[in-house]
Amino acid sequence: MKSTDLARKERELKRVQKKSEVLARKQSRESRTPGDFINQLHDLFFHDLEKIYNIDSCDEILEILLEMKEDLEEKHWDNVIRKAVRKTKIKEKEEAITLLKELAEVGD
């Protein structure tokens, strides 16, 4: 391998390490904002243009909802769920919102 290839691979490795360190720091923060929860929920949703398919089957969604209920005031919960669903741009928004609200209530 050429020295330029080695240097390039080393730079890429450093970038990946730095990115993982930054993500770990962001996730370990004590209090997260409603926007953080919106993004996390949106990232976990498996959806197409019609609906979200993994609301009932994904344990990570339940965990995020429980963390949201611990970290945020109750007045923000509905807003986080609605915005996360709206961000997917699916047609069946109300059904997904209802399922997520029920899941959050059952999680108690």
Give residue limits of the domains in the chain.
1-30, 31-106
Q: What is the pLDDT of residue 29?
A: 60
Where is 57: in which H helix or E strand?
none
Q: List own/partner pairs for 57-61 with CB under 8 A and 24 or more apart.
A: 61/100, 61/103
pLDDT > 90: percent of the chain: 54
Q: What is the pLDDT of residues 32-61, one digit of tens each?
A: 789 999 999 999 999 999 999 999 888 899
Using pLDDT thresholds of 50, 70 and 90, give the confidence band for residue 3: confident
For 70-97, what is each residue's pLDDT tens digit?
A: 888 889 999 999 999 999 999 999 999 9
Contact 44, 54 (CB under 8 A): yes
